[in-house]
Amino acid sequence: MWRTGTGPSLRRAARLCSSTQPKASHTNFTARPHAEKQRRRRVREEGILSSQHGSAEGKAVKWSEKQKIAYTGPTPPGAKKDTSLPFPSCYSPEYVESSWYQWWEKEGFFSPEQHERLPHAVDQTFSLCIPPPNVTGTLHLGHALTVAVEDALVRWRRMQGCRVLWVPGCDHAGIATQTVVERRLLRQTGRHRRDFKRDEFLEEVWKWKNEKGDEIYHQLRKLGASLDWSRACFTMDPGFSRAVTAAFVRLCDSGLIYRSEGLVSWSCALESAISDIEVDSKELSGRTMLSVPGYENEIEFGTMLSFAYPVEGHDTEVVVSTTRPETMLGDVAIAVHPDDPRYQTVHGKHCRHPFTDRLLPIITDSMVDVELGTGAVKVTPAHDHTDFVLSQRHSLPRLTVIAGDGTMTGSCGQWLEGVKRFDARQLVVEALVEKRLFRGRKDHAMSLPICSRSGDIIEPLLKNQWFVRCDEMAKKAVQAVEERRLEIIPEYYTKTWKNWLSNISDWCISRQLWWGHQIPAYKVMLPNYEGQQEEQWVWGHSEDEARQKAAVKYGLKPDAVTLTRDPDVLDTWFSSALFPFAMLGWPDQTADLQQFYPNSVLETGSDLIFFWVARMVMLGTELTGQLPFKQVLFHSLVRDKYGRKMSKSLGNVIDPLDIIHGVTLETLQGKVKEGNLDPREQLVAMEAQRKDFPVGIPECGTDALRFALCSHKMQGEDISLSVSQVLSCRHFCNKMWQTLRFTLGVLSENRATVETIAKTAPLSSMDRWICSRLHSTVGQCEQAFDAYELHTVTSALYSFWVHSLCDIYMEYIKPLLTQQDQEAVLTTDAEHSGDVRQAAIAVLYHCVSVSLALLSPFMPFITEELWQRLQPFAPEAAAQTSLCLQPYPHSAQLAHWHFAEEERGFLLVQEVIRVARSLRAQCGITKAKPDMWAVCSPSQAEVLLRFGSAIRTLSRISALHICCSDTNGIPLSVHSTSPPKTSLVGVVDHTCQLHLHFQSGMNIEKQIVQLSQRRDRLVPKLDEILARVQSPSYLTKVPSHIREQMDSKVSALEQELKTVEDQLKLLQEMQTAE
């Protein structure tokens, strides 16, 4: 509420009351930390506008136009793409994403019926529904995140051999759709909704839906969503409408739906109650002028006005404060705290209303906050949720002074009757001033509730509506989570779940609209209705059934009963709450319902926990006797790079297709201009676009967008997605593309025969290492998928493909397979025998093939394209024609590729290669391949000998001489003499050093500067660790394994510092000698 009467004490009492008696659902317009919220918003906006006239360089997305390649193969829609065409030289999303989806869909790959044809099928079902987007709109990045996450899970389960059903759907979006069509008709015909008959208007809505409603389905297909389109579900379809009617009737029959008078959130512009999710809060820091629909001039908000009520029969007054003076015509009492000393003398007295002459009792209630305002609260039960509770406690009347159209009612008196509410506000203030009762005005921070559909200011109004009784259903929903029958992921949402459901109010489900499910309830008019005082209602699946019920109830013949159907429609969230089972044919016991209900999981944004998820659980349990799903997986919200929630009202929404196909800055700014934004918000939105996308958004492709979205940790902080991250994933796509070009070239040139993965035995140490890395990666994917940690899966796959496969293994085998390096080819090492060459080709093939399967749930288009091109070289024909139906790799099939010793040993090898490359750079060596010495422990020497070929190739050295010491410290030459004294030394760890002989022409002075800088960095680092290690409580408070790690770190730093100082001394001596 927007006045001083809504203090914390009253709010707490209101919540407590809701658990003891049914009352109307409402939005709690309570005070928030307005100043802090406003400050954060201003900081973000100023950050965007700060360099408004400066350069757009810096943090902007930097990219260059890539070559676009179109697929020109003669592939009819729905036919399989021709992958025998020449392999393009570079990755192009347009080329890759052409034709595949139409083929998948036509072949029925997304249908659960194909499960029977899978050789690896398992008797396990995986089902879920997509959160149905509004038919009016288009998908934004928040929807794209939902699609990317759900499709990854769906494709993974399908590849595992599960019977999978993922149902697409659209919500009819009652208010949103009706508003759009009303505006369209007004613009095209100049006629308002009320100028049409209801059937005529609904005909226009259906026309619009059929014209525009497919846009979302087009976007879903472009995102690669593997939905079963044969089961697509629209909430106004006949079958779904029948389910809505059945649900309403059953809940009425069981007493869970009732009709009552209660306060609702009302939009005067729409003349309808609206749901909580359709209410936006506008934070005001003080006096603010705002445009309101239906008013020519701006209206003042954010001020607190005080006025006095004279106490009847006494020479005193009680001063109250309000932000809505027009509602004072509906005041029925004044409340004070019983212990407030300021009002002890007026307890039980009355105040005279200055305009209506009513006597207002002064009541006492402990809910009143004595610290808030004057400590006296005006009570307006018909226009304030908290005051409504007070009226119940004190049996106060409820006087409605604002009508549904936003005008003042006749109970205000002729001087205000029919006057618009905000015009009446000024008239009331002027009248109070005239009567000398006005006591002042001041700025007041407040949260103003605004209808997101119409932009109108929400008005709490007292209306006869249909309500769902929620208490008992909510208790069952809480109990289901407590008993672990329903799992909420992440678990910390269980507390939110319990708190909200434990304080739930009854749910108003009436909407005064035409578009939607008309309520199947009928007002009964009896033959002697003249004396009828109270409304009488019946309900039924049809009017005939309702008539029969009324006849039985009132003991009349059916034809003696007159029925009038309720013109209102049901809240959109009521029908949405039925989606998990209505989409499967409920109330009929269909085969789909028996097989796929309950759903396996519900995945959605955390902002829908109350509006949708809780209501699905309550109604699903009540109507079917089962929970609608076994798990709820919440993902975080997507925000822009400035931390703002993506919202049409801020103009920062990005269409995923704009990232997939690319878009110019002019087009982006045109979309902002088309929106109905406040001038400042439009300025901020357009400046943010200019700074972020000075030359537009590059074409990134679907696979890159999906991979980027799934790379974020879903179950944590909100996701701040930047186009730069998506662009990086496009670069990864190109890396995959070039990897396949190399692999296909090797397979073609060597005419290699690849054995199956079970028969492929890696021979060389590097082959064993990469195979073991693949085995470990598959294991990581298994564990992370089971835990719904998709960011861990994507990270593991990216790391394997880029860092292990491309940066290391392929760089190692290129000289061997492509014969670029004759020295490497002609070496006498056993590792470079013909058998090892063939084994390396087979290992490369399987690493690529398995990786494509692992990546398929995230990047369906590029993995399908590349896998199909790999098939001519497959050791055996694939069981299925598409990668999306291949078995998902599992670690058991790669158990023979697990070489833990190679993986452990290669950690040392990687460090040796890194240090060797660093020494080459320090010496300025580019093309030459010098000798290098490694001084190390015997165990390290064994590892370096085993991976000697890889070290030579990847470090670009001609020979690696290994020296180590035995346990007595006596030098023992493994391959050669000790390293030359005039060597540049690099430290791998405290027991391993690399020595590179100084090259002629080396810049000694430059080396001295670099080593001095390195010493200056090492000294404070070592001092800091030593200070911690030498602290008095170190031995008692630090665990032993941590102390061991710290000791190793100290040893390594001390060794490195000694090496640096020795080299400095040597270089300085050489410099002096020159």
- What is the average pLDDT value for the chain, to the nearest integer? 87
The CATH number for 824's domain is: 1.10.730.10
Query: Mean of the pLDDT values across residues 289-308?
Result: 92
**Range with the poorest average pLDDT among 88-97, 194-203, 278-287, 441-450:** 278-287
Residue with tokens 């008993």: 483
Q: What's the chain's Rg over C-alpha atoms?
A: 37
Q: Which pair of structure tokens corresponds to residue 962?
A: 């290994």
Q: Is residue 880 part of a domain?
A: yes
The whole-number pLDDT of residue 421 equals 96
Angstrom distance (rounded) from CA 159 to CA 1009: 58
The DSSP element (H or E) to which 385 belongs, if any, is helix 385-394
Q: Residue 37: which pLDDT band, with cuts at 50, 70 and 90?
A: low
The CATH number for 1036's domain is: 1.10.287
Angstrom distance (rounded) from CA 933 to CA 111: 61
Whether pLDDT at 1055 is above 90:
no
Pairing of strands 333-336, 359-364: parallel
356-394 pLDDT, tens digit each? 999 999 999 998 988 877 889 999 999 998 899 999 999
The whole-number pLDDT of residue 662 equals 94
Query: Mean of the pLDDT values across residues 1037-1063?
Result: 79
Whether pLDDT at 29 is above 50:
no
Residues 540 and 400 grouped into a single domain: no
- Half-sphere exposure of 220 toward its Cβ, with a 13 Å CA cutoff? 27
Residue with tokens 């109010």: 505
**Range with the poorest average pLDDT among 556-570, 804-818, 821-835, 961-975:** 821-835
Cβ-based neighbours of 492, under 8 Å, separated by 6 or more: none
| DSSP string of 280-325, one letter each residue | EEEEESS-EEE--TT-SS-EEESEEEEEEEEBTTSS-EEEEEES-G
Q: Is residue 59 part of a domain?
A: no
The whole-number pLDDT of residue 871 equals 93
559-581 pLDDT, tens digit each? 888 999 999 999 999 999 999 99
Q: Residue 26: which pLDDT band, with cuts at 50, 70 and 90?
A: very low
The whole-number pLDDT of residue 21 equals 34
The whole-number pLDDT of residue 825 equals 43
Three-state DSSP at 339 gives coil
Angstrom distance (rounded) from CA 400 to CA 378: 15
Query: Mean of the pLDDT values across residues 973-978?
Result: 60
Highest mean pLDDT among 25-39, 358-372, 520-534, 772-786: 772-786
What's the domain count of the chain?
4
Residues 832 and 735 grouped into a single domain: yes
Of residues 374 and 159, the one with the higher pLDDT is: 159
Residues 434 and 532 grouped into a single domain: no
Whether pLDDT at 980 is above 90:
no
Of 880, 898, 916, which residue is a domain's last?
Answer: 898
Residues 533 and 415 grouped into a single domain: no
The whole-number pLDDT of residue 13 equals 28
Residue with tokens 């934070």: 283
Tell me, rounded to whole angstroms, the distance of Cα 133 from its chain centroid.
14
Angstrom distance (rounded) from CA 1037 to CA 738: 52
Q: How many CB atoms lie within 10 A of CB 63?
A: 18
Angstrom distance (rounded) from CA 301 to CA 285: 10
Of residues 913 and 671, the one with the higher pLDDT is: 913
The whole-number pLDDT of residue 719 equals 86
Q: Is residue 573 part of a domain?
A: no
866-908 pLDDT, tens digit each? 999 999 999 888 778 999 999 999 999 999 999 999 999 999 9
Tell me, rounded to whole angstroms, the distance of Cα 200 from its chain centroid.
39
The whole-number pLDDT of residue 993 equals 87
Pairing of strands 983-989, 719-720: unpaired
Whether pLDDT at 989 is above 70:
yes
Residues 305 and 427 grouped into a single domain: yes
- Half-sphere exposure of 644 toward its Cβ, with a 13 Å CA cutoff? 24
Q: Residue 10: which pLDDT band, with cuts at 50, 70 and 90?
A: very low
Q: Is residue 618 part of a domain?
A: no
Angstrom distance (rounded) from CA 773 to CA 776: 5
Whether pLDDT at 27 is above 50:
no
Residues 530 and 411 grouped into a single domain: no
Of 541, 565, 589, which residue is a domain's last?
Answer: 565
Residues 778 and 878 grouped into a single domain: yes
Q: Where are the beta strands (DSSP E) in 510-659?
A: 510-511, 521-525, 537-539, 562-565, 569-570, 599-605, 629-635, 638-639
Of residues 752 and 536, the one with the higher pLDDT is: 536
Q: Is residue 911 part of a domain?
A: no
User: Percent of the chain, pLDDT > 70?
Assistant: 89
Of 537, 565, 593, which residue is a domain's last?
Answer: 565
Whether pLDDT at 820 is above 60:
no
The whole-number pLDDT of residue 967 equals 46
Q: Which pair of structure tokens corresponds to residue 1044?
A: 């061991």
Highest mean pLDDT among 429-443, 528-542, 676-690, 922-936: 429-443
Whether pLDDT at 44 is above 80:
no
Angstrom distance (rounded) from CA 474 to CA 377: 33
Tell me, rounded to whole angstroms, the distance of Cα 327 from its chain centroid.
41
The whole-number pLDDT of residue 1000 equals 57
Query: Rounded to 5 degrees, what are φ and ψ at 1014?
Result: -65, -40
In eight-state DSSP terms, residue 420 is B
The CATH number for 296's domain is: 3.90.740.10
Angstrom distance (rounded) from CA 143 to CA 447: 28
The whole-number pLDDT of residue 676 equals 63
Q: Contact 130/146 with Cβ under 8 angstroms?
A: yes
**Type of residue found at 160:** Q
217-275 pLDDT, tens digit each? 999 999 999 999 999 999 999 999 999 999 999 999 999 999 999 889 999 998 999 87
Domain that holds residue 532: 520-565
Q: Is residue 444 part of a domain?
A: yes
Q: Is residue 459 part of a domain?
A: no
Q: Is residue 539 part of a domain?
A: yes
Residues 418 and 526 grouped into a single domain: no
The whole-number pLDDT of residue 876 equals 84
Q: Residue 104: which pLDDT band, with cuts at 50, 70 and 90?
A: very high
462-496 pLDDT, tens digit each? 999 999 999 999 999 999 999 999 999 999 999 99
Query: Mean of the pLDDT values across residues 348-360?
Result: 94
Angstrom distance (rounded) from CA 272 to CA 265: 8
Whether pLDDT at 396 is above 60:
yes
Whether pLDDT at 28 is above 50:
no
Residues 401 and 536 grouped into a single domain: no
Angstrom distance (rounded) from CA 842 to CA 753: 8
Q: How many CB atoms lie within 10 A of CB 869?
A: 17
